[in-house]
Amino acid sequence: MPRRTEDYSIIERSGSPYWYYRVAGMTAYKSTGLLVKGTRRKDAEAWARAQYERASLGPEMPLVRWATSFFGSDCPRCSRLAEEGRPVTDGYRADCRHIVETDILTDELAGKAMGQIRKDDILAFRTRVVNRRGPTRIAQRVMSTLAVIFAEAELRELVERNPCHGIGKISAPARVSGIFSREEMVALFGSAPGQWGSIEAYTCFFLAAGTGLRRNEILALRWSDVSSSILRVESQFVRYSDKRSAPKSKRGRLTEIPHRVEEALEAWHKLTKFPEPESLIFCGPDGLRRGATWWLKAFRRAMSALKIDYTVRNLKPHSFRHTLVSRLRSSGGVSDKAIRDAIGHGTEAIQDRYTHQDEDSVRGIGKAVDEII
């Protein structure tokens, strides 16, 4: 009797000198080409098992099986790039993993065999993403992540082609980040806790406004990172986890803390339950890190209290970073290089994207022109 498993089986046929095999998905047995007299059954079974494994990692493999591990701990693409000396950053990996879990594995496309997915399927998937996410950069990132998953399968010759090739980008309307006026900054940080509801939130966002630090850099700060008026930024929290990584610029930096912000930090240090050097400066009642929900709720509470329409003006917590760069550059009192070093911008092009014009930034030009003409 042939030995049968769930996925493959081996038999002998009367009158034939060869072993015959069948794997899941086949309707009939085929010759292995292995002679019965010269090949033990367990070796023939091992051969059949190898055929099954090859078939399961081929065009008939459902997308969900191939995509499940992507950007996780055993991601085939991340492992390959690391071997080639081109490791992906933890932040990018976490972002893509979130997209895999929330947008790709949950979609009906995930159940289809990879070899049967056509461009029409990709376009239909894109329509569903846009309907769910809107025509945004996030929607385009979902499409890019899917294209990467298929590109890796094509590279490993698991599929003959990448159905994402030739699919155009989603046209997302460009939205320039808003910046805060001088009057709004005074209203937000004139006194503690002001509109923020707590000394911790006030201090946290005052630090963001005064140094331009990113959210995951601020929430990763320990008291030991503060030395007099100097702040050492050496790590950030990876999104969706408690893991730390290098800052976005891939290197640590020092930045000076404005005097009023330094005073706010000293006041918070006296009030917090966790003043130890290795404790997080901003943390929950259990001493663990604050998350994105706390960050956004605190920001929106202050905006609502001052009746600032942050949605229409595209104001976000990150807008404090844009505001600081714009104000420093328009003041002319600090060199562009010093600003880049303190903020953590790698190039002038990035710095230019963070520089915005408003009424405050153009005041004084008319007087200068009067003097010329």
Using one digit for the tens of pLDDT, what is the confidence trace for 156-187? 888 889 999 999 988 877 777 889 999 999 99
Please report where in the chains the tokens 């023939």 appear, as a residue: 44
pLDDT confidence bin for 23, thresholds 50/70/90: confident
User: Of 249 and 11, which is predicted with more confidence?
Assistant: 11
* Contact indicator for 261, 211 with CB cutoff of 8 Å: yes
pLDDT confidence bin for 5, thresholds 50/70/90: very low
Please report where in the chains the tokens 């005074």 appear, as a residue: 186
Q: By three-state DSSP, how is residue 222 classified?
A: strand
> What is the spatial distance between Cα 330 and Cα 315, in angstroms, rounded to a whole number?
20
Model confidence pLDDT, tens digit, residues 276-300: 999 999 999 999 999 989 999 999 9
Asked whether the predicted pLDDT for residue 373 surpasses 50, the reply is no
Report percent pLDDT > 90 for the chain: 49
CA angle 232, 236, 238 (to 5 degrees): 175
Q: Average pLDDT of 244-265?
A: 88
Structure tokens at 170: 């989603």
CA angle 323, 329, 334 (to 5 degrees): 120
In the chain, CATH 1.10.443.10 sits at 182-362
Asked whether the predicted pLDDT for residue 249 surpasses 90, the reply is no
Asked whether the predicted pLDDT for residue 147 surpasses 90, the reply is yes
Looking at domain 182-362, its CATH architecture is: Orthogonal Bundle (1.10)
> What is the spatial distance between Cα 226 and Cα 257, in angstroms, rounded to a whole number?
9
Average pLDDT value over all residues in the chain:
86
Q: Average pLDDT of 3-28?
A: 79
- 226-227 β-sheet, strand order: 226-227, 230-233, 253-256
**What pLDDT does 54 receive?**
61
**What pLDDT does 56 receive?**
62
Q: By three-state DSSP, how is residue 97 classified?
A: helix
User: Of 353 and 303, which is predicted with more confidence?
Assistant: 303
**What pLDDT does 170 receive?**
87
**Secondary structure (H, E, C), 316-358:** CCCHHHHHHHHHHHHHCCCCHHHHHHHHCCCCHHHHHHCCCCC
> What is the spatial distance between Cα 149 and Cα 100, in angstroms, rounded to a whole number?
10
Model confidence pLDDT, tens digit, residues 310-358: 999 999 999 999 998 888 888 777 787 877 777 776 666 666 666 655 5
Instruction: Write the CA distances from 326 to 177, 179, 222, integer angstroms.
Output: 12, 8, 28
Asked whether the predicted pLDDT for residue 212 surpasses 70, the reply is yes
pLDDT confidence bin for 148, thresholds 50/70/90: very high
Element (H, E) at 6: none
Q: Average pLDDT of 191-202?
A: 92
Asked whether the predicted pLDDT for residue 25 surpasses 80, the reply is no
**What pLDDT does 366 receive?**
46
Structure tokens at 27: 């309707």
Model confidence pLDDT, tens digit, residues 89-128: 888 898 999 999 999 999 999 999 998 999 999 999 999 9
Q: Which residues pair with 226 in a beta bridge?
A: 231
Please report where in the chains the tokens 């992906």 appear, as a residue: 88
